Chain A
């Protein structure tokens, strides 16, 4: 949408012509009116070409190492770039091709393992990057093509099952590959841990510099990301990209309009797989090791969440999704940051739900009051019930309000956990005043569970957050943040 001048501006005000969708024709005009004073700026932003945004984005990402010297932050940024690449690849298959591919991470794994075999001490093969990378990409594409062959006539659930089977197959081979006809190929469950960094012309790409994550790898990943982004953008706006999207919209119509649907599906599989394999190369060469379990459901779900959150089908969207989810999962590892995210999300959710109405104030006040009362009662019953705050920081502040027992009796976690789910379910069933009354105890219970149960087990908690994000998204914006596929209302 570059040209924003409405087509029908010359239409006289005498009213719409018969059969003409005036309402639709004046879409752009109305957007201007609604936009108020910010609208002209929005229009101007809209007119900025995509490559300017891309350059800006990559530029800002490049500045990150200048802002922080922390190896940890840089590593998280690097992982996020890998996530962005993976999300772009999945977007080809899911967002454009409309194919529910649950075997996607197997191609990532395949790429990582292929590189590991092409440049490690496993078989003492050491190919330079400019040979290894193209070879791995081709291997990925061929594997995608092969998976597509039996699957091309399937769609929906059936396709999902077959591709899931493929992921399992990959796992099995990788885990048991330490004795294929007596040869140790994949290193079994322990993987291959002698993978060399990318190297060319006798130079190694430094992984660590004085024990800290070296930033060169980050730049290499960013370079590949930009390359993939540009290439995919060009493909998307070509006949192939249009055909992919047509096939997502309506395979039968696409076929009847002269598009070879089966071949296009294979191509889409191969494309996604090649991108995943390329990303796998970078990952393996950086990690110096590959393990089977890295490439499993958790990662699959994470990438899907990114794609769905950002908006399946939109390249900017899935990059944004990766940019949000990647660091978020990292932050959630740390209980204190997790806590901050929880309360920010809670307050944000409340503001969104009540939109600054008076009820927002009532609910917040009631929740606070409810908490203080519970806290006082618990404290009066036994001191140890409220003596559990150890983390300092936000938890210390919160501990004046929230019950944080010193010792958590064994029955408390499951009961409170199930309790919060039940109350939340009840909340969706009741309406009006009852809901308003039930909300404060629910929020309090949720906070209790989060602080006492979830934060002691960061790992499941992180993925529960992913689930919650998806649920919230389903309710608020089913097409994702920047999704281009809209839910049709006719």
Chain B
């Protein structure tokens, strides 16, 4: 098959004796969209925290493009090309919309603090480039983020637009692997549909490899090349959407929830 971008090999994590992730193996290939599903508390967000270096695995290895990420600090992992959004939105609320995106360009820009103080021509050029780049990131969302003035503070955005801004910010670190944590949470059906389309565009136009956590099965069905189902930190199924959705263990894990009734 295609090149492996991300390999999660036998990763485990315990919180005070509770195994939140247990001996997990997941591979993500170049240009793939992989969905991670599972009931609440299954360990999906924890998996993202492990990949981005916020938690360190107790056992196992996480490898990106052949190099281990374990032990690196989150900003170093970001520099390796991994970026993410947060389930519980973590925008820089008191900064302007465009500054949120510009701030994320920190890792791939260079002007030092002394050059900034003197406002050297090189620094000014870089600053223009950052702004231009950030505008492009925002423009990716078309109308949605266009209606705003980008110099308005981020807290003035609606919930759905905060989610979009988070995605825009995540892409501003120039990632190759994008981790989206419930991008459609809190959106109305129209917007949810849009997000599903957007994720497809992110892959096709942006060229990102995408790992996405999503509860909305319509979105999962629409976008996924592959689906991984977790429950209690263990992978219970993997495959195409149809394979996973009909898997008895998945149905059991979701039993009693609406999602189980989709197929």
Residues of A within 8 A of B (CB): 1, 3, 6-8, 11, 17-22, 24-25, 27-28, 231, 234-235, 237-243, 245-246, 249-250, 252-261, 267, 271, 313, 484-486, 488, 490
Contact = CB atoms under 8 A, between A and B. Distances in A.
Please name the 5 residue pairs, one residue from A and one from B, whose CB atoms are nearest each other, closest first.
A258-B107, A238-B116, A258-B78, A253-B90, A249-B92
A25 B130 contact: no
Given A3-B151, A257-B173, A250 B130 contact: no
B116 A17 contact: no
A249 B113 contact: no
Contact of A250 (B79, B90, B105): B90
A267 B113 contact: yes
Given A234-B117, A242-B95, A28 B148 contact: no
Contacts of B143: 17, 20
B259 interface: no
Contact of A259 (B94, B107, B123, B130): B107
27 contacts: A19-B160, A19-B188, A20-B144, A21-B158, A21-B161, A24-B148, A27-B152, A234-B117, A239-B102, A239-B106, A240-B116, A241-B116, A242-B103, A245-B99, A246-B92, A246-B103, A250-B92, A252-B74, A252-B90, A255-B75, A256-B54, A256-B86, A257-B78, A257-B170, A259-B103, A261-B75, A313-B94
Nearest to B175: A258
A245 B92 contact: yes
Nearest to A260: B75
A235 B116 contact: yes
Contact of A257 (B93, B104, B161): B104
Q: Is the interface of A mostly helix, strand, loop or mixed?
A: helix
A238 B95 contact: no
B111 A238 contact: yes
Given A249-B94, A253-B91, A238 B123 contact: yes
A485 B92 contact: no
Interface string B134-162: 00000000011011110111011110110
B113 A256 contact: no
B147 A242 contact: no
B30 to A, nearest CB: 22
Interface residues of B, number: 58
B162 to A, nearest CB: 10
A20 B191 CA distance: 11
Nearest to A490: B155
B190 A18 contact: yes
A169 to B, nearest CB: 28
A268 to B, nearest CB: 10
A235 B66 CA distance: 38
Interface of B: 52, 54, 73-75, 78-79, 83-84, 86, 90-95, 99, 102-109, 111-113, 116-119, 123, 126-127, 130, 143-144, 146-149, 151-153, 155-158, 160-161, 169-170, 172-173, 188, 190-191
A11 B106 CA distance: 35
Nearest to A240: B113
Contacts of B160: 19
A292 B258 CA distance: 70
B119 A19 contact: no
Given A239-B109, A249-B95, A255-B74, 19 more contacts: A7-B149, A17-B143, A18-B188, A20-B147, A21-B156, A24-B148, A24-B156, A25-B147, A27-B156, A28-B149, A234-B117, A235-B113, A235-B116, A237-B127, A242-B95, A254-B103, A256-B83, A258-B75, A485-B94
A36 B145 CA distance: 29
Nearest to B174: A258
Contacts of B83: 256-258
B78 A256 contact: yes
Contacts of B103: 239, 242-243, 245-246, 254, 257, 259
A484 B113 contact: no
A27 B149 contact: yes
Nearest to A256: B74
Contacts of A1: 151
B51 to A, nearest CB: 11
A8 B173 contact: no
Nearest to B74: A255
Contacts of B190: 18-19
Contacts of A256: 52, 54, 74-75, 78, 83-84, 86
Given A242-B99, A243-B106, A258-B106, A249 B93 contact: yes
A19 B169 CA distance: 20
Contacts of A490: 155
Contacts of B52: 256
Nearest to B160: A19
Nearest to B104: A257
A11 B147 CA distance: 9
Given A255-B73, A257-B103, A486-B153, A238 B147 contact: no
Nearest to A489: B155
A258 B107 CA distance: 5
A36 to B, nearest CB: 22
Given A235-B117, A257-B106, A19 B94 contact: no
A21 B148 contact: yes
Contacts of A234: 116-119
A490 B162 CA distance: 12
Contacts of A25: 147-149
